[in-house]
Structure 1
Amino acid sequence: MGSEAMKTGLEKAPHRSLLKALGLTDEEINRPLVGIVNSQNDIVPGHIHLDEIAEAVKAGVRMAGGTPLEFPAIAVCDGMAMNHLGMKYSLASRELIADSIEVMALAHAFDALVFIPNCDKVVPGMLMAAARLNLPSIFISGGPMLAGRYRGKDISVSNVFEAVGAARSGKITEEELKEIEEEACPGCGSCAGMFTANSMNCLTEVLGMALPGNGTIPAVHAARKRLAKKAGMQVMKLLEQNIRPLDIMTEGAFHNALTVDMALGCSTNTVLHLPAIAYEAGIELDLDLVNEISKKTPHLCKLSPAGEYHLQDLNEAGGIPAVMAELNKINLLDLSCITVTGKTIGENIAGKKVLRQEVIRPVENPYSSQGGLAVLWGNLAPDGAVVKKAAVAPNMLSHRGPARVFNSEEEAVEAILGQKIKPGDVIVIRYEGPKGGPGMREMLTPTSAVAGMGLDDKVALITDGRFSGATRGASIGHISPEAAEGGPLALVEEGDIIRININEGILELEVGEEELATRRSRWVPPEPKIRKGYLAKYAQLVTSANTGARLKG
């Protein structure tokens, strides 16, 4: 029934009175009320400009006969939250975002919603809310940041993280680090590589919840504002045609998203978020499906941090429609899925083609015949672990080495920067999962330090935590069950031999079952790291990463 529930009939005179207190006329009140969910704030570079996007959306809604009413959502900058207490709150913010939008949308009986996300957890949090509410909805992100320029090369924030390790090991000077710091992030937008934010904004387009261009048009281009106006107009058509998120986010749509994910070499975080979004849509996505789709999907793009290209290059190359058109040449997509355009995927990508083949390779000449992500299994990860295979040096796809065990990210970073890690080592960081962290921190600081010190093709890193999309190297995360739940990762001891075979999907601890049983009998669950506030409640309710780190219940 939507807004009619709070504005029609004699008994709703008080409600209309309150709407008039907003300055709304009878004409505006009588139109459909469209909630504009704006995650703008002044601290996140991807979000500082979202007020301009929201104004463009509102103009579109008004042009199409609706009344836009804006309300806020929170947003965390993962880069700023990295490697301190703040990172514990990043993943946990996803659930708060979904819940708070549910509260606002249902309390105020909106007819339709336009979601304006940009950075990491905001996109999946909003998609979870859209699926849960099932009101006619459309997404328009703030768009990617342009790459910075340093000595003739495009760079982004991941280069700054890696430059810290390079400076520590004497490969560059502190003055050079300062120059890189000045140039890497030239302005507003989600950081320029295929990190989590851009991965999720591109996959929102594939899912059918955003207009073509949503994932790749740069934040500073006027085309981004024009797309926002079109999104505002289009939500009114979705309302008129009664096309809802659950009509769009079908099983076929999620399969399409995973397929494009593999072709793009997206962040490992997509494997946390897609199952959680699917769950809200009543669909079970299990990790076996990731490998199944990966095995038949060619890896077509190597964007930063895996390669030299950035989102602006992907946009010039034809964007996500061009990637999908290329994949369609070998019939990997469900073309029948309906999208927010009101048309199917097949109709949306008809006639699209790749405009820069060095950015989006042809299916006949991929970087590899298999996708960018892989799920590993074994006695260390009975419920699975995830690696960005596309960003692993070829010589590290198979590795066997001694465990160097750390019970927190901080201990590991100290050892890496203190040059205590040797080639061949397997760095183990545990008690950093959804429950143990709590909040499953991203491990960009240790992985960047490893890369900056020239060890990314010489050591592996495994954790029950997770990685930034900016991470590269043999970095294996999401180990489930996590150590804090008594998973096998909790039983690893210094010097144990760990075997990794990424092509074969294996993560094994070379310790006998009898010895592991003895260690298990001695294991004592760790004390909670945080005892009050939101994170303490989150730690009690959250599940391991293989479920998407969703909350119980």
Structure 2
Amino acid sequence: MLYATDGVSSDDDFQKAMVGVASVWYEGNPCNRHLLGLGQAAKKSLTDAGIIGYQFGTVGVSDGISMGTRGMSYSLQSRDLIADQVETAAGGHWLDGMVVIPGCDKNMPGVLMALGRLNRPGLMVYGGTIRAGSCAGAPQLDIVSAFQAYGQYLQDGKTEAAERERYDTIRHACPGPGACGGMYTANTMASAAEAMGMTLPGSSSFPAESAEKEAECRSIGGVMRGLLEKNLLPRDIMTRSAFENAMVLTMILGGSTNAVLHLIAIAHSVGIELTLDDFQAVSDRVPFIANLKPSGQYVMEDVYKLGGIPKILAYLLKNNLIDGETMTVTGLTLGENLDRWTHKYGELSFTNQDIIRPLEKPIKETGHLRILRGNLAPGGAVAKITGKEGLGFTGKARAFDIEDDFVTAVESGSIKKGEKTVVVLRYLGPKGGPVSSWALDSVTMLRA
């Protein structure tokens, strides 16, 4: 049957490695709409390197589009579905290796879980971040700007002027392909994957439409050939120290709470046990220094302009916060990769920029992710405390069993800005959702 495929044209082709190229391509989401093209470029690179590439796709769910609807119940399970699909296609066809190309939130952990289970030579190419949007008076728009615009519209009394401003924000928040621009789940998990050594240097901060992203895809063939020749496997790369590096970078950047959920799952796929206590231990010793959305001002595109995630990792290595001896998909250690990067692009500078602060002048002296325990969460809970909230809060609680009821309460004015109120959205967990849902759009209505 292989004679009938595009990859095999002669008997000699059976001596070549066969590598899958799995992209989470979907036209209906800016995070994923361009991934087919990136996959085609990666496949051509494999062909040029004397490797047969077989491209296939997997399904994905856009958190930004499904947020606040029943569609969000499909988001988390899409992670495991992606992992199953990639593993099934690669395992069922005895592919020698895998190139995985994710774009949206649950895509990254899904493909990394698959690589961990398969444990065949493989690497990840992140689809890349979106460019920042802009409109009158708002030069740094992203998806959360659109969520906040509705809350601001309600606060402004639903006037015609408020509606024009809301529409202008929504219309320009997402200007093209790429994942949500702030340090949300997609950029967090891409950065974590790079810290673990599962991507090429710079992959997590190259924008989707950048020349560097195209060049990354064109280099995949040579990288995969090196992985195959050395038989360098995901479990050789995703070690305990690699996960420690990922946790440290997540704390430094102010990354998503979802990193806890996903890194634990990825670790499980390679036989490593991570716990909530591990994250708390890292949070206790690592400061928060990145002025990135949602808590800050900037987006991943600004990190790219600053020199990318490798410059930040090199700064952390220089200050003994990460392990530079971990192996990466380049066949070099993380430290060797970072040394090459800084030799070419220079070290992280704190002059004329307030995107990344020096360690001695952090936004918060300990990590922003805190593990909470108590009668409300006997099994533990993850909170994001960025330093603006203070150390305590006293106020009334408003509980809602249905998220739509909370939105109605905000729209009707029964929950007002400035009131000391804790909003509790119940039944959004694995049983009540069903499947854990995220209420980011509801939360951002309160931030407006």
TM-score strictly above 0.5 = yes
* Corresponding residue SS for 1:426: strand
Identify unmatched segments of 5+ residues in structure 2: none
Aligned residue in 2 for 1:387:
383
Q: How far apart, in 2, do the equivalents of 1:255 and 1:38 lie?
A: 27
Aligned residue in 1 for 2:93:
108
Matched, 1:62 2:47: yes
Alignment deviations for residues 56-82 of structure 1 (CA, whole Å, 9 cap, x no partner):
211221222211100111111111111
Matched, 1:439 2:428: no
Alignment deviations for residues 284-323 of structure 1 (CA, whole Å, 9 cap, x no partner):
1111111110111121212111111111110111211111
Counting only pairs closer than 5 Å after superposition, residues 80-95 of structure 1 correspond to structure 2 as 80-95=65-80
Offset at residue 137 of structure 1 (A): 0.4
One-letter code of the match for 1:232? G
Aligned residue in 1 for 2:407:
413
Aligned residue in 2 for 1:30:
15
Q: How far apart, in 2, do the equivalents of 1:319 and 1:331 lie?
A: 19
One-letter code of the match for 2:188? S
Alignment deviations for residues 403-459 of structure 1 (CA, whole Å, 9 cap, x no partner):
21111222222222222225112111111102221121110121011112xxxxxxx
Q: How far apart, in 1, do the equivalents of 2:96 and 2:53 lie?
A: 10
One-letter code of the match for 1:368? K
Q: How far apart, in 2, do the equivalents of 1:416 and 1:441 lie?
A: 20
2:58, 2:82 within 8 Å by CA — same for their partners in 1?
A: yes
* Corresponding residue SS for 2:371: strand
One-letter code of the match for 1:420? S
Offset at residue 192 of structure 1 (A): 1.1
One-letter code of the match for 2:56? F
Alignment deviations for residues 142-175 of structure 1 (CA, whole Å, 9 cap, x no partner):
1000000122521111011001011012166101
Offset at residue 224 of structure 1 (A): 0.3
Partner residue of 1:302 out of 291, 302, 313: 291
Partner residue of 2:194 out of 205, 210, 222: 205
* Corresponding residue SS for 2:395: strand
Aligned residue in 2 for 1:265:
254
Change (3 A) 1:83 1:394: closer
Alignment deviations for residues 219-251 of structure 1 (CA, whole Å, 9 cap, x no partner):
111110101121232012101101000000001
* Corresponding residue SS for 2:335: helix
Q: How far apart, in 2, do the equivalents of 1:347 and 1:298 lie?
A: 25
1:98, 1:126 within 8 Å by CA — same for their partners in 2?
A: yes
* Corresponding residue SS for 2:393: strand
Matched, 1:290 2:279: yes
Offset at residue 32 of structure 1 (A): 0.3
2:195, 2:242 within 8 Å by CA — same for their partners in 1?
A: yes
Aligned residue in 2 for 1:182:
171
One-letter code of the match for 2:347? K
Q: How far apart, in 1, do the equivalents of 2:441 and 2:32 lie?
A: 23
Offset at residue 109 of structure 1 (A): 0.6
Q: How far apart, in 2, do the equivalents of 1:295 and 1:197 lie?
A: 24
One-letter code of the match for 2:156? G
Q: How far apart, in 1, do the equivalents of 2:362 and 2:219 lie?
A: 34
* Corresponding residue SS for 1:293: helix
**Could you tell me the percent identity over the aligned residues?**
40
- What is the total number of aligned residue pairs between the two structures? 433
1:248, 1:339 within 8 Å by CA — same for their partners in 2?
A: yes
Partner residue of 1:375 out of 371, 375, 388: 371
Q: How far apart, in 2, do the equivalents of 1:258 and 1:35 lie?
A: 29
Q: How far apart, in 2, do the equivalents of 1:197 and 1:280 lie?
A: 19
Partner residue of 2:114 out of 117, 121, 129: 129
Q: How far apart, in 2, do the equivalents of 1:320 and 1:348 lie?
A: 12
Q: How far apart, in 2, do the equivalents of 1:37 and 1:97 lie?
A: 10
Work out which structure has the larger RCO, using CA pairs closer than 8 Å and 6 or more positions apart in sequence.
2
Partner residue of 2:318 out of 324, 329, 334: 329
1:317, 1:360 within 8 Å by CA — same for their partners in 2?
A: no
Q: How far apart, in 2, do the equivalents of 1:451 and 1:418 lie?
A: 17
* Corresponding residue SS for 1:202: helix
Q: How far apart, in 2, do the equivalents of 1:316 and 1:205 lie?
A: 17
* Corresponding residue SS for 2:38: helix
* Corresponding residue SS for 1:316: helix
Matched, 1:280 2:274: no
1:326, 1:363 within 8 Å by CA — same for their partners in 2?
A: no
One-letter code of the match for 2:368? G
Offset at residue 382 of structure 1 (A): 1.6
1:373, 1:387 within 8 Å by CA — same for their partners in 2?
A: yes
Larger radius of gyration: 1
Partner residue of 1:169 out of 155, 165, 169: 155
2:144, 2:441 within 8 Å by CA — same for their partners in 1?
A: no
Aligned residue in 1 for 2:335:
346
One-letter code of the match for 1:409? E
Q: How far apart, in 1, do the equivalents of 2:142 and 2:290 lie?
A: 17
1:211, 1:231 within 8 Å by CA — same for their partners in 2?
A: no
Alignment deviations for residues 506-534 of structure 1 (CA, whole Å, 9 cap, x no partner):
xxxxxxxxxxxxxxxxxxxxxxxxxxxxx
Q: How far apart, in 2, do the equivalents of 1:123 and 1:29 lie?
A: 31
* Corresponding residue SS for 2:112: helix
1:58, 1:68 within 8 Å by CA — same for their partners in 2?
A: yes
Aligned residue in 2 for 1:218:
207
Which region of structure 1 is more displaced relative to structure 2, 212-221 or 381-390?
381-390
* Corresponding residue SS for 1:173: helix
1:407, 1:431 within 8 Å by CA — same for their partners in 2?
A: yes
* Corresponding residue SS for 2:291: coil
2:291, 2:354 within 8 Å by CA — same for their partners in 1?
A: no
1:326, 1:362 within 8 Å by CA — same for their partners in 2?
A: no
* Corresponding residue SS for 1:386: strand
Offset at residue 25 of structure 1 (A): 1.0
One-letter code of the match for 1:321? P
Aligned residue in 1 for 2:83:
98
* Corresponding residue SS for 2:219: helix
Alignment deviations for residues 345-366 of structure 1 (CA, whole Å, 9 cap, x no partner):
1111123521454222221222
* Corresponding residue SS for 2:380: strand
Matched, 1:157 2:143: yes
Which region of structure 1 is more displaced relative to structure 2, 417-426 or 256-265?
417-426
Q: How far apart, in 2, do the equivalents of 1:408 and 1:29 lie?
A: 57
1:416, 1:446 within 8 Å by CA — same for their partners in 2?
A: no
